[in-house]
Amino acid sequence: MDKIKTKKKISPNRRHLIQALGAAVFNGHFKGFISGSIYKGSLKSICVPVLNCYSCPGALGACPIGSLQAVAGSTKFNFSFYVFGLIALFGILAGRFFCGYLCPFGLLQDLLHKIPSPKIKVPAKLNRVLSFGKYLMLIGVVMLLPLIVRNSLGMSDPFFCKYVCPAGTIGGGIPLVVLNPAMREAAGSLFVWKVTLAIAILVLSVFLYRVFCRYLCPLGAFYGILQPVSFYRFKINNKCIDCGKCARVCKMGVDPVKSPNSPECIRCRDCIHECPTGAIESCFGFKPSKETSEEESHG
């Protein structure tokens, strides 16, 4: 029992430490934050598994959503096999684990939600309807719009990055506008719109847990689609006493007993640490359960 209590206290901080390390690794070009320029090395041809704008002064890799739109919006290609394959590989390996443990924008929202304030609990039905927003972003804005809306040269805008992405505004836009005088002069109404939207999302994050991840993030939607079949999985063993503690502690509105591999779960593992009987297990790959193996051997 004591062991469980200790785990409860340490675990969230350890997760935030991993998130902070992830943010530092993905944005390891620290001198960019002083010079106001971006990294131009070959590492940028590799996508990171999280929403991390490649125009952030510190970014070492490419943002998968930005890359998907950039290639699809070019004159030569309508679709990026390479980026789509990479996102699918990340998703099938660990699902939304990346959202919970590595995403820098997720960390920012987690920290903002720690500010003492009244917290909003969205009713389950409304939450379900709103959560479709991220699929709309993925299929409509990220994948279909660049194919439909093209200019006379056959190119299209990265619509999600241009009009929505708050991670790009905070990681790339604001630092570059602050550090680079040329960028400051070029900033106009679009920048004002993006900063306003980013601030609105950040303010909402104080009251509503991970509002962007739940309702708008196209990368979270992609990983969520693959989560039920991803190798990294949660399962409920026969120790479950249906106390409901796991569902109450889940800030993403998931009931782990009903759907341990829900597309909404960000694998923060709060439910595992809250469970008094150790009924929620995580595993890599679908393991044959002990009971099944025993039944088979007896049979």
Partner 1 sequence: MNENLHKKHTSEGTLFRFFQLNKWSLLIAAVAIAFILIGLLRANGDEVKTLLMKAINICMECIGIG
Q: Can you give the binding site for partner 1, defined by CB under 8 A?
A: 38-42, 44-45, 53-55, 62, 66-67, 70-71, 74, 76-77, 80-86, 88-89, 92-93, 157-158, 161-162, 165, 168-169, 172-173, 176-177, 183, 186-188, 190-191, 193-195, 226, 229-231, 285-288
Those residues whose C-beta lies under 8 Å from the C-beta of residue 220, and which sit 6 or more positions away, are 96, 99, 134, 213, 214, 266
Please say which residue, 48 or 208, places its beta carbon nearer to partner 1: 48
Please say which residue, 124 or 229, places its beta carbon nearer to partner 1: 229
Distance of CA 140 to the CA centre of its chain: 18
CB of 221 closer than 8 Å to CB of 96: no
Least distance CB 35 / partner 1 (angstroms): 13
Least distance CB 6 / partner 1 (angstroms): 34
Least distance CB 208 / partner 1 (angstroms): 24
User: Strands 280-284 and 232-236: what pairing?
Assistant: antiparallel
Least distance CB 47 / partner 1 (angstroms): 8
Please say which residue, 72 or 246, places its beta carbon nearer to partner 1: 72
Least distance CB 26 / partner 1 (angstroms): 13
Residue 137's Cβ-count burial label (10 Å; 0-12, 13-18, 19+) is: buried
Degrees, nearest 5: CA angle 250-233-88: 105
Please say which residue, 39 or 101, places its beta carbon nearer to partner 1: 39
Place of tokens 């196209």: 218
Backbone angles phi, psi at 234, to 5 degrees: -105, 145
Please say which residue, 76 or 258, places its beta carbon nearer to partner 1: 76
Please say which residue, 157 or 255, places its beta carbon nearer to partner 1: 157
Backbone angles phi, psi at 280, to 5 degrees: -100, 125
Least distance CB 68 / partner 1 (angstroms): 9
Please say which residue, 116 or 188, places its beta carbon nearer to partner 1: 188
CB of 11 closer than 8 Å to CB of 28: no
Least distance CB 236 / partner 1 (angstroms): 16
Nearest in space to 242 (alpha carbons), one of 277, 289, 272, 288 = 277
